[in-house]
Copies of this chain bind each other. A is one copy, B any other.
Amino acid sequence: MLKVIAEDFIKPEDVEIVIPLYRELVEATKQEPLCIAYDLFIDEKDPGHFIFIEEWFDRAALDAHCASEHFRRLVPLIDQHTRKEATYILMTAF
Contact = CB atoms under 8 A, between A and B. Distances in A.
A18 B87 CA distance: 26
Main secondary structure, interface of A, reads strand
A39 B91 CA distance: 12
**Size class of the A contact interface (CB-based, 8 Å):** 20 to 34
Contact of A94 (B22, B44, B93, B94): B22
Given A42-B91, A94-B40, A53 B53 contact: yes
Contacts of A43: 89-91
A93 B44 contact: no
Contacts of A45: 90
A56 B92 CA distance: 22
Interface in A32-67: 39-45, 49-51, 53
